[in-house]
Structures are given as structure tokens and as C-alpha cells.
Structure 1
Amino acid sequence: MRNIRAAALSAVTLSLALTATACGGGSSTGGGSNDSPKTLTYWASNQGASIEVDKKVLQPELDKFEKQTGIKVKLEVVPWSDLLNRILTATTSGQGPDVLNIGNTWSASLQATGALLPWDAQNFGKIGGRDRFVDSALGSTGVAGKDPAAVPLYSMAYALYYNKQLFAEAGITKPPATWGQLVADGKKIEAKGKNGLGAEGSNLSNNIHQVFVLGKQHGADFFTQDGKPDFTSDGAVAAVKQYVDLMAKDGIVSPGNAEYAQNQSLSDFAKGKTAMVLWQTASATFKTLGMKDSDWGVAPAPVQSGAPGTDTQVNSMVAGINMAVFKNTHNLDGATQFVKFMTSDTEQKILNTAYGSIPPVKSAQSDPAFNSQGTAVLRQTLATSAQALPQVADESQFETAVGTAVKELFADAAAGRAVTTESVKAKLAKAQQQMPAK
């Protein structure tokens, strides 16, 4: 194992080198060091259609927490384009929040920095126990065999969302179950003057999620069993090429999508410009964007053939948001109380209903809200055909390096440059060279 501080510095250096977005630390009172014991700082991830939507969802709950405990929570909703860099910088500078949301795929990488509070049996006991949470969510909280670096907050899975009216106009009677069917349906949509499938070529995290799933379907992973990067295997190359070929070869993704970032494809879908989108837990966002529930349908994400399941039939990564506490907080008791509040049954129902996600808390899942059109497919996917991204220390660098490679390949496709097996492999080889040396 590398020294944990070296791991953190390596992560920061790589992430800054590969990401154009400037990053900053947390508040000047980082870790609550100058805050009152009755104050917490909280970085929330952008879950809704906009940062303003998140503030409207979260602030009433934070006010409720303050009324119950006397502890005021200072909220900052951080865009996904900034969040990882902000967190990585905070792990080395100490200028971070008390409590924060993290993408669950980053858990092992952030665990390796040593900056986050480990959730051992004693800490879990303060929030009601580890066994309150479903196993699939706990599987994305850090390296197996170690105390988790975070606690599950929202669980999500990918699904295929489709516009019912555009399908009917194209003569499509049911959603596609395989990639071949999806491409064929997308071409029917294109023939009617609409976009077949939405994508976000500049959204690095979404790029990774899609190609990881396709990698599993091609019998490949992006890491070896001992945690070393393996980006250029035949299966990994085939996965990336298949995804980019939706634009480059199949023509069902608009070239303009190469520049799309978070939620832009959902906006097109909501406006009736695009017939299909592969997304994690999108129903609440559609409502915010003005769609009626009757306007769209949802089906399991495609597989190569047959039905979703395990191994090469995986059709989603285990998506979700975890809640972490910086170890250097000067208000550990308050931070723990806040995590307990946010993962309580009552708040789990309120927050996951607002975001269209699934509670990772077992006792909260029984609410009828989580068996609706927008959530039933997601629950089934999480239970039967989703797999967690590799829980390795270099996972966050993987997202940046390979996500950027996919972004560059989409740019090639949009510009009319050939996307070949060789060019895909070259991009992935470059990405692998950028990973920290073992």
C-alpha cells in the first residue's frame, strides 16, 4: 500500500492536471475549527435539476435539524464538475467542511487519503447500526474488509427512459431490451427528425458509468484483481468503442452532445428533442423540467442479448451518494447527529422521494413512494443486475483519466474524425499511463 498522504497528493495532482475546472478549498473555517459547536458546514452534491432546486429540497430539512438540536448547518451545494477536486484539495489542506456528500464510487479513493472518519462499529452504533443499510449500498463505501469511509445516503441505478409520444410517432410499441434494438429504434426516431439517444460527452462521471457497464457486458473490468489499471484489454476497448459509436457509427446521438455536461441531455429529453436517455434516477428531474409522469416510460438499461442479470448481463453500476465526515472536524458529536438525522427513516423518505432515488435504509424502502413507475425498475436493477465500480484507491483517478479519454473520443466523432479500435486503444493507453505508479 502506498503512503496514504502520498496517495492523496497523487490524486490531487492528477485530478488537477486532467480537469480544466479551477478548484478551491472549503470554507475558511475548514473542518469547523473556528465554528461554534452549534454550527456545522455541509457540502451537498447537486442532485436535482439545479443547485437552486437542491437548496429548496434541503434547507427545510436543515432548519428542522436546527430546531431539534440547536445546531445550525451551513449549506453549500457543489456542482459535480467541481466536487471531486474540492474534496481532494480539502483532504490535503484541511480546509474542508464538517460533513459532505461523495459519489459512492469515490469511497475507496477518499478512504485512502485517511482524511475521512472511519465508520467502525462504535460510530455506526451512534446512528442506529450498520445493519440498517442494504448490502448493495454498503458495498460502495470503501475497500472490503475495512471500516467504511462513509454512510449510504441515496441509492440509484441506471435505467432507460423513453418519450412515449416520440416512440408512438415512430411506430415503436415497446422499449428496447438490447443494444441492437436500441440502435434500430434510435434510427427510426432520427428518421422522424428527432434525436434518438441523449448522451453527455463532457460529463466524465457519466462516461465512466456507461463504459464500466459495457465493459462488464464485454467480460472486462478496468482493473485487475490486485487493483492495477487494465484499460486496454479487448473487452475494455470494445466497451468504449461501442459507447462512442452510438454517435460515430450508429448516428443516434447528436454530435452536439459531445460538449454536453450534467443534465443537458435531460433538458433535451424533457423538451421532446430526444427520445431516449440512459440515466440514473431521473424521474424527479423530469418533473422539475416540466414533464408529466405520463409523458415518459422507463425500462431496464439494455444488455447485449437476453435479459439483465449478473456477470455479462450487468446493466447498471451501483449508483448512489454517501455521506462522510471529515476526521478533523471540531464538532464530531454534531456531525454524527447530522448523519443520524439524514439517514433516519423520516428523512430518508422525504429526501429520496424528492430526488426520485431509493433509500439505502431498509426500513424506509417499504414506503409506497418507492414502488412507483420511476423507482420500481431501479429497485429491481439494484437487487438483481447492478454491480459496484471497483473499490480501489485509484478509482477517482480512473474516472478522470478514462472519462477524459471518452470525452476526447466523442469530440473526434463530433468533428468527423474516425473512431477506430486503434484510436480507442491509444486513448485508453494514454489514460493508463496517467494513473499513479504502483
Structure 2
Amino acid sequence: MRKIRIVASGAAVVSLLAGATACGGGESTGGGSSSPKTLTYWASNQGPSLEADKKILTPELKKFEKQTGIKVKLEVVPWSDLLTRILTATTSGQGPDVLNIGNTWSSSLQATGALLPWDDANFAKVGGRDRFVESALGSAGAEGKDPAALPLYSMAYALYYNKAMFKEAGIEKPPATWDEMAEIGKKLSKNGKWGLGAEGSNLSNNIHQVFVLAKQHGADFFDSSGKPKFTDDKVVAAVKQYVDMMAKDKIVAPGNAEYSQNQSLSDFSKGKTAMVLWQAAATTFKSQGMKDSDWGVAPVPVQSGTPGQGQQLNSMVAGINIAVFKNSKNLDGATQFVKFMTSDEEQRLLCKTYGSIPPVKAAQDDEAFKRPELEVLKNTLATSAAALPQVTNESQFETAVGTAVKSLFAKAAGGAAITTADVKAELTKAEQQMASQ
């Protein structure tokens, strides 16, 4: 995913998944097209605004129309609405033909039965499975099943830092470990400015950060059977470590507890915070007036040593997938459109524009993907990233645990110290919520 996603409420997710059928794009009155000459496409918000995405995508859709004679009706859906809209479409049949999904939702949406499986025959229509980076396909559905979507834009997390603020504070290089993060962050947190930006009310961002920290502590949120184990001592320690960046280390502004959608990027661009953990942020920084020379990029810190496999993982496998409702009345046109969007040419163009990494191998040869920022992201994806749990109730997991972290940030913002017992209590509620679903 490019933009960090705000997940629908747990109740909505549960009720919609429970009633989900294999309904896909329906008649034209519901958004999906019944004409072989038209398609409807829900794109996720990847750029600085919905309008920016429309300007970026419209010429490409015209290009597809010129090539195939198929007109694409575009709607760019904000992340705050996207999951709910998709889940509603799976039950009503009034959805698009083609849509973008956050890659972490793949298994949950696959379980509804609404999405077209990418078996060998369907892969052949887009040039074959081997065109795609395998790690990106790993976040396209449950293990052992045909993917429910194809990777469209790949990303990983990196640490972005403000060069001028570092120089002013006499800091020569970005932190490589979390202890260094706390030390450097404290030097930068003064005179109304802060060391690190966070988004405490952004449930998905919360999940992404604590997932990585849990891995670094040697923990998982689920056991091998898919049963949640949120109260594992190492999971508790990971969540506490994240919230303590505000509560204990005080390198995150208390107001960040209320941030939910890219406000931390705005603060970074305005010089209010010196560092931010984000995915492929260059396009947003540029749109907000920063020059590429104003900021640097480094791998996300680890507990000790350098990033790598096992407990040295420092990112989730991030990205956007493209999917087809299998009951679309224009399956042939929909698969043609997916082939177009995942073609080498379009991958180079769109990923270059959005600052993401092409999940199509041949497209990565472009010089644009060799600049320092993307080299860090590519290396992270290749050597030190892992997919979020590919469980059928992943979206409920994002809601339950993301909300637990949000509640802890709210307490920290109020000045309360966060104890291990506080963290365990919130995670116990999250685990109970999952068990009841």
C-alpha cells in the first residue's frame, strides 16, 4: 500500500465478511459493467490527493481505451472508505470490475470468494507468474492458494530524516538501532520540534510498526494454526516499545496520538519533526514543497546490529494489489486491463510517478528506480521484510490491535506512564474481540 490505510470498524468488517458471497461486479447500475466496451475501476489514493490521482491515471486509461476500444470509468477511493466499500460490494454485487486493494487485505478478501483467483490460466493472460517478484506475490493471498490479486505497486518502510535539523543538532548520521533513535530523538525534541512523527490514530500504521517490532522481539501475533496470541510477553514488549516513544522517551509529540492520515508527513515537510517512518514518501514530500536534497533516507532501525532476516526484519511487505471481481460481466476486458496495468511500460511509468517499486521484475531496470531512496526500499524488500499474517481475519486483526495501540497512545498523550500491565490489558481486549468473531 502506498497510503497508510484506515481500517473499517471491527463490527462492520465482521458482519460484512460473515455475509459475503461470491458476488463481484454486477450490472452497470451497480458500478460493474455489463458491456464488453466499458469497465469500472476503483483506484486507491496513491498521490497527494484524489485529484492528483485522477490526473495521473486518466491519460493511462485513455491509452488503454485507444489500444483496446474499452473505456474505463475511474473512481479514486480514499483509504478511509476503501475497505468498507469493497466489503459492501462483495455482499451486494454492486461493485466495480477491477479494483485496488491494500495487499494486507488479500487473504481476508480472498475468503469472501468474490475475487478472481489468479490460477495458471489467468496468469498466462498477463504474461505468466514469473514476471512478478515472488515476495510481492506472497502478499496476494493465503499460502497454498492461487493469489486473489496481483501486485501493482510495491513498497517497504524506510526512515526519512531532515538533513538541516540533523546538521543543526550536530547529528552526523541517522539512527541504526532503537536505542540510537531514542538518544537522537531526544536531542531533536526541543523548542517546539520533535524527533519522530507517528500516527497514533491510524490503525494500519500502528499495525505495521508493532508487527515489525514484534518480529524483532522474536514474536508473532498468531500461532501456526492462525490462533491469536496477542498477549505473548514478547508481543506486549514490542507494543510497549512503540508507545514508549511518546510515553517514556518523549520523542513523539503528544498531539500525534490523534493523527490518522498523513499528518506526520505534513509535519515532517514543515520541519516540525525530524524523522518519520513511512513507505515511499518522496512524491508527498515534493508535493508539500520539500526538495529531494532536504531529506535523507535510511533503513528502519533494529534492536541491534543491521537489518536482515529473522529478528533483524525491519519492514512489512507493503504495497497495492490489483484485483478483479470474478462475477464481473466483462471478465475478458478486466483481465486485459490488469495486463495493461502490470505491463512493463505502465509499471515503469506509474511506479516512477508514485515513487514506488515495480513488482514486475523487468520494469525495475529503469534508472529512476536506482536513486538512493528506492535502493533502500528495494534492498529492504529483498532482504529484511516479511508479509503481515496471511490469515482470513487479517482485517479484524488490524482493527483490534490497531485500536489497542491507539488507546495506549491516547493515554500517553494525556501524560500517563504506560506500564506492561496497561499494554497487556489492551491486548487482552483485542484478543477477546478476535475470539468472539
**How far apart are the structure 2 equivalents of 1:122 and 1:30?**
30
The answer to whether the 8 Å contact 2:248/2:417 transfers is no
Give the drift of 1:31.
6.3
What are structure 1's unaligned runs of at least 5 residues?
Answer: 1-9, 18-24
Using a 3 Å threshold, how does the CA distance of structure 1 residues 61 and 141 change in structure 2: closer, same or farther?
same
Residues 342-421 of structure 1: pairs in structure 2 closer than 5 A: 342-421=341-420
Using a 3 Å threshold, how does the CA distance of structure 1 residues 30 and 342 change in structure 2: closer, same or farther?
farther
* Other-structure match for 1:290: 289
* Other-structure match for 2:19: none
C-alpha RMSD of matched pairs (Å): 1.9
Question: 1:191 aligns to what SS in structure 2?
Answer: coil
The answer to whether the 8 Å contact 2:237/2:420 transfers is yes
* Other-structure match for 2:3: none
1:309 aligns with 2:325: no
Question: 2:417 aligns to what SS in structure 1?
Answer: coil
Using a 3 Å threshold, how does the CA distance of structure 1 residues 31 and 388 change in structure 2: closer, same or farther?
farther
CA deviation string 1:390-424 (max 9, x = no partner): 11111111011111111111111112233211111
Amino acid corresponding to residue 108 of structure 1 in structure 2: S
* Segment drifting more, 350-359 vs 68-77: 68-77
Question: 2:189 aligns to what SS in structure 1?
Answer: helix
* Other-structure match for 1:257: 256
**How far apart are the structure 2 equivalents of 1:16 and 1:161?**
39
What are structure 2's unaligned runs of at least 5 residues?
Answer: 1-8, 17-23
**How far apart are the structure 1 equivalents of 2:95 and 2:234?**
39
1:180 aligns with 2:184: no
The answer to whether the 8 Å contact 2:25/2:97 transfers is no
The answer to whether the 8 Å contact 1:197/1:274 transfers is yes
* Other-structure match for 2:234: 235
**How far apart are the structure 2 equivalents of 1:139 and 1:188?**
40
Amino acid corresponding to residue 52 of structure 1 in structure 2: E
**How far apart are the structure 2 equivalents of 1:39 and 1:431?**
43
* Other-structure match for 1:141: 140
**How far apart are the structure 1 equivalents of 2:29 and 2:360?**
30
Question: 2:161 aligns to what SS in structure 1?
Answer: strand
Using a 3 Å threshold, how does the CA distance of structure 1 residues 75 and 287 change in structure 2: closer, same or farther?
same
Using a 3 Å threshold, how does the CA distance of structure 1 residues 299 and 16 change in structure 2: closer, same or farther?
farther
1:162 aligns with 2:161: yes
Using a 3 Å threshold, how does the CA distance of structure 1 residues 275 and 28 change in structure 2: closer, same or farther?
farther
Give the drift of 1:37.
2.2
The answer to whether the 8 Å contact 2:412/2:418 transfers is yes
Identity %: 75
Using a 3 Å threshold, how does the CA distance of structure 1 residues 436 and 109 change in structure 2: closer, same or farther?
farther
**How far apart are the structure 2 equivalents of 1:182 and 1:97?**
44
Using a 3 Å threshold, how does the CA distance of structure 1 residues 338 and 56 change in structure 2: closer, same or farther?
same
TM-score, normalised to structure 1, is: 0.93
Give the drift of 1:33.
5.3
1:189 aligns with 2:188: yes
TM-score, normalised to structure 2, is: 0.93
**How far apart are the structure 2 equivalents of 1:172 and 1:74?**
50
The answer to whether the 8 Å contact 2:182/2:249 transfers is yes
Give the drift of 1:13.
3.7
CA deviation string 1:296-346 (max 9, x = no partner): 000000000000001110000000110000111001011001000000000
The answer to whether the 8 Å contact 2:26/2:93 transfers is no
**How far apart are the structure 1 equivalents of 2:85 and 2:305?**
42
Give the drift of 1:172.
0.4
Amino acid corresponding to residue 130 of structure 1 in structure 2: R
CA deviation string 1:42-85 (max 9, x = no partner): 11111112212211211111111111111111111111111111
Using a 3 Å threshold, how does the CA distance of structure 1 residues 26 and 205 change in structure 2: closer, same or farther?
farther
* Other-structure match for 1:218: 217
The answer to whether the 8 Å contact 1:116/1:149 transfers is yes
Question: 1:297 aligns to what SS in structure 2?
Answer: strand
Count of residues paired in the alignment: 422
Using a 3 Å threshold, how does the CA distance of structure 1 residues 255 and 28 change in structure 2: closer, same or farther?
farther
Give runs of ≥4 in structure 1 deviating > 2 Å.
10-17, 25-37
* Other-structure match for 2:121: 122
Question: 1:399 aligns to what SS in structure 2?
Answer: helix
* Other-structure match for 2:152: 153
Using a 3 Å threshold, how does the CA distance of structure 1 residues 12 and 65 change in structure 2: closer, same or farther?
farther
Question: 1:435 aligns to what SS in structure 2?
Answer: helix
Give the drift of 1:193.
3.7
1:38 aligns with 2:37: yes
